[in-house]
Structure 1
Amino acid sequence: MVRRILPVLLVLGLAGCAGESARADAAADVATRFLSAAADDPGAACALLAPATAESLDGPCEQALADEDLPAPGAVEAARVYVDQAQVVLDTDTVFLAEFTGGWRVVAAGCTPVPDRPYDCVLEGS
């Protein structure tokens, strides 16, 4: 009996990992699309922001993003998913995202680590 259950558990465990990998890849895709659009197509970038982040901007979203000093997208070094939150580390930036019904949305971008403190972010929601 144990011999029959072990392969099933192994397959289920691997399937769970594959699901998390796909979610991490999706978060990384949104992060890089956001950073690409921020400079060239602020309207598209605004559509990728979490509602609270968009609301926290000073003024209309498109103009506010144009005024921010966000880095160009770099190569993705790591993407980690924690339930409905994600962290995407690029070689130029770190982006934090939240998962909504319609997919991943950017919560904070232009983030750099600060020793023994929270990240310092150019753009973040409240």
Structure 2
Amino acid sequence: MREPRRRVAAASVLAALVLVGGAGCATLGERRSAARAAALGFERALLAADGAAACAALAPETREEVARSAESRCREAVLAEELPAAGAVREVDVHGRQARVVLASDTLFLSRFRAGWKVVAAGCVPRPGRPYQCTVKGGWRPPMRTMFTLCLLIIAAGLAYSIVLGAIQR
């Protein structure tokens, strides 16, 4: 009687993990479109010399770094960076919560935050065999809530694995 209950429990835990893991995930096309829109919004703000809007499009750590390195407010500092006029979108690559948007004259890197896609780096130039060189950049730290959720998922996966393994061995 105990073995069928364990199998049902194991199957329930695995089903819950699949549902939790897949809940709220946008399709690849939707993520590409959203990253593209965020990159173009940043570029439009720069073109219009709207420093406040450009800073709002930056990731928090990038915004802080832009202001800190220029020793002024972000909205003035970002416009002083002399980023290239980007042009048309040529390519959008999305991997999980990270994206690279290649424009005619610039490459942007973005991350997905609770508030949407934000620019982590801009004015990026590829260097063969080395990382991109970026004019505007900042560090990125995942929010504590994200880290806590990740830890819980890892623990739940380990627990599910142990339950399934125990059910198989019996």
TM norm structure 1: 0.82
**SS state at 2:27 partner:** helix
Q: Deviations over 1:19-75 (max 9, x none)?
A: 111111110111111022124211111101000000111221011112101112311
What is the number of residues matched between the two proteins? 109
State the distance in 2 between where 1:55 and 1:65 align: 11
1:26 aligns with 2:29: no
Structure with max Cα Rg = 2
1:38 aligns with 2:25: no
Q: Deviations over 1:52-111 (max 9, x none)?
A: 000111221011112101112311111111111000011111100000011000000010
RMSD of aligned alpha carbons: 1.3
1:70-89 aligned at under 5 Å gives the runs: 70-89=83-102
After superposing the two structures, state which structure 1 stretch, 92-101 or 34-43, moved more: 34-43
Letter of the 1:80 counterpart: D
Letter of the 1:21 counterpart: G
TM norm structure 2: 0.61
Identity of aligned residues (%): 48
State the distance in 1 between where 2:109 and 2:130 align: 16
State the distance in 2 between where 1:102 and 1:112 align: 27
State the distance in 1 between where 2:56 and 2:123 align: 17
Determine which structure has the larger helix proportion and give its number: 2
Determine which structure has the larger strand proportion and give its number: 1
State the distance in 2 between where 1:86 and 1:32 align: 13
State the distance in 2 between where 1:66 and 1:110 align: 12
State the distance in 2 between where 1:66 and 1:94 align: 17
